[in-house]
Amino acid sequence: MKSNNDAIKLEGISKSFGTANQPSVKKTNLKIESGSFVTILGASGCGKTTLLKMVNRLYEPSTGKIYINGEDVTTISPTALRRKIGYVIQQTGLFQHMTIEQNVATVPKILGWEKKKIDERIDALLRLVGLSPTDYRKRYPRQLSGGQQQRVGIARAMAADPSIMLMDEPFGAIDAINRNELQDEFLRIQKKLHKTILFVTHDIIEALKLGDKVIIMNAGEIQQFDTPLNILKKPANDFVRNLVHADDLLQRMIFVKARDVMNHNVDSIPVNADAVSINELASIKEVLLKLLESSFDYVKITNEKNELVGQVTLHEIRQV
C-alpha cells in the first residue's frame, strides 16, 4: 500500500458536494513523506481545506482511498483517527470555559493518561511553544492575546504526541509581526520534532517560507507539488508562474534557503575562524548580504547545533 517513508497516501480521492457542477477536489493522487512539512497554497475555493479535511475524515471522500501510516482510514473510527492526528484551525478552537492546562490536557485525559504524565506533558509543551507553565497554566483563553492563544492551540494539538498534524490557516488571524514570530517559532519546533505537517494557507510568503514542499492548487486540482526552489525556478505552468511571481529574482532569493543551494563538501571549506557564518535556514538574500559585508569569498553554513555543514559562494547564489 505504501513505502515505509509515506505518512499520508491519497489514491484517486475526490470530493463533490451536493448539486455543485464541479467537484471541490478532483481525482487526486498524492504521497506525503514522513517528517515533511508540506504547505498547501491556493486561493479561497480552490479545494485546499477540503483536501485537508478528508485526511482526518471531517469530510469523507467521494472516491478513492486514504492511508495514514499504512492504514486505510476507513478501517479506523473517525473519532479514534482524529485522536491520533493533531488539528489546528485559525480560531484555535480553545474551550473558553477551561484553563490553558485543561485545554492542553483534553486528548491525553480522553486517552486515559496518568495525571503525572499529563502534568509533565503540559509543562513540556507550554515551554516548547514559548509560554511559561508557571505564568500560563491557570489562565483562561480570554486572558491571552491572539498569538498566545494560537500557541496554546498548537500545544493542544501536539498533546498526545501525534506523528501527523493538520493545520488550516492557523496564523491567518494574527497580525503581521506576531505571525512572522509564530512562523519562526513553528519552524524551530518542527526542526526539533520532525512531525508530518499539512499546512493550509492562502499566503504565498508563508507557504514558501514554511514548506519543505508546497502543493499549489487551483479549481480543485494540484498544479504543482515540489520544493519552493523548484516551484520558483521551474513553475509547472503559467498559473503557478504568475501566482508565485517566479520571474522575480529578488523574491526567489528571499524564499530559497542556504541549505537548498550550499556546497555540502565541508572538507573543501578553508579553515578560517574569522569567516562569516550563518544558519542553514537563512535566505539566500541574507547570505548575499553577509557575503557583501565580508572580506571572504564564501559564507560558512551551520546547523542548529552550530556545526559546519557547508558553504555558499557567489557561484551557488548564481544558481538560484
Please tell me whether residues 176 and 275 are part of one structural domain.
no
Residue 3 has pLDDT above 60, yes or no: no
pLDDT of residue 4: 59
Does residue 263 sit within a domain? yes
**pLDDT digits over 114-156, tens only?**
999 999 999 999 999 999 999 999 999 999 998 899 999 999 9
pLDDT of residue 92: 66
Please tell me whether residues 185 and 45 are part of one structural domain.
yes
Q: What is the DSSP string of 151-187?
A: HHHHHHHTTT--SEEEEESTTTTS-HHHHHHHHHHHH
**pLDDT digits over 187-209, tens only?**
889 988 999 999 999 999 899 98
pLDDT of residue 180: 87
Please tell me whether residues 250 and 261 are part of one structural domain.
no
Cα 64 to Cα 13, 30, 60, 158, 221, distances in angstroms: 4, 11, 10, 28, 15
Question: How far apart are the C-alpha atoms of 274 and 296, rounded to whole Å?
Answer: 9
Residue 320 has pLDDT above 60, yes or no: yes
Residue with the bigger pLDDT between 215 and 175: it is 215
**pLDDT digits over 54-104, tens only?**
999 999 999 999 999 999 999 999 999 999 999 998 776 889 999 999 999
222: left (phi over 0), alpha (psi -120 to 50) or beta: beta
**Domain span including residue 156:** 6-254
Does residue 1 sit within a domain? no
Question: How far apart are the C-alpha atoms of 86 and 223, rounded to whole Å?
Answer: 26
Please tell me whether residues 69 and 131 are part of one structural domain.
yes
Q: What are phi and psi of 43, to 5 degrees?
A: -75, 165
Residue 276 has pLDDT above 60, yes or no: yes
Question: How far apart are the C-alpha atoms of 104 and 95, rounded to whole Å?
Answer: 10
Q: What is the DSSP string of the chain?
A: ---TTEEEEEEEEEE--TT-SS-SEEEEEEEEETT-EEEEE--TTSSHHHHHHHHTTSS--SEEEEEETTEEGGGS-HHHHHHTEEEEETTTT--TTS-HHHHHTHHHHHTT--HHHHHHHHHHHHHHTT--HHHHTT--GGGS-HHHHHHHHHHHHTTT--SEEEEESTTTTS-HHHHHHHHHHHHHHHHHH--EEEEEES-HHHHHHH-SEEEEEETTEEEEEE-HHHHHHS-SSHHHHHHHTTT-HHHHHHHSBHHHH-B--GGGS---TTS-EEETTSBHHHHHHHHHHSSSS-EEEE-TT--EEEEE-HHHHTT-
Please tell me whether residues 206 and 300 are part of one structural domain.
no
pLDDT of residue 179: 87
Please tell me whether residues 122 and 101 are part of one structural domain.
yes
Please tell me whether residues 163 and 198 are part of one structural domain.
yes
pLDDT of residue 177: 82
Does residue 73 sit within a domain? yes
Question: What single-letter amino acid sits at 148?
Answer: Q
Cα 241 to Cα 28, 167, 197, 216, distances in angstroms: 22, 25, 25, 11
Does residue 193 sit within a domain? yes
Q: Residue written as cell 492504514?
A: 71
Residue 191 C-beta-side C-alpha neighbours within 13 Å: 13
Please tell me whether residues 54 and 198 are part of one structural domain.
yes
Please tell me whether residues 249 and 149 are part of one structural domain.
yes
The domain spanning residue 149 has which CATH number?
3.40.50.300
Domain boundary residue, one of 207, 234, 254: 254
pLDDT classification of 250: cutoffs 50, 70, 90 = confident
Please tell me whether residues 176 and 270 are part of one structural domain.
no
Domain boundary residue, one of 228, 254, 280: 254
Q: What angle do CA 239, 318, 310 make, to 5 degrees?
A: 110
Please tell me whether residues 80 and 166 are part of one structural domain.
yes
Domain boundary residue, one of 233, 254, 275: 254
Average of per-residue pLDDT across 235-252: 88
**Contact, 183 vs 207, CB < 8 A?**
no
Q: Residue written as cell 498559473?
A: 239
Does residue 92 sit within a domain? yes
Does residue 275 sit within a domain? yes
Please tell me whether residues 247 and 285 are part of one structural domain.
no
Average of per-residue pLDDT across 259-274: 81
Number of domains comprising the chain: 2
Residue 225 bridge partners (DSSP): 215
Q: Residue written as cell 559546519?
A: 308
Q: What is the mean pLDDT of the chain?
A: 91
Question: How far apart are the C-alpha atoms of 227 and 33, rounded to whole Å?
Answer: 13
Q: Residue written as cell 557575503?
A: 291
The domain spanning residue 306 has which CATH number?
3.90.1280.20
Average of per-residue pLDDT across 165-182: 88
| Residue 35 CB-density burial (10 A; 0-12 exposed, 13-18 middle, 19+ buried) | middle
pLDDT classification of 318: cutoffs 50, 70, 90 = confident
The percentage of residues in the chain with a pLDDT greater than 70, rounded to a whole number, is 98
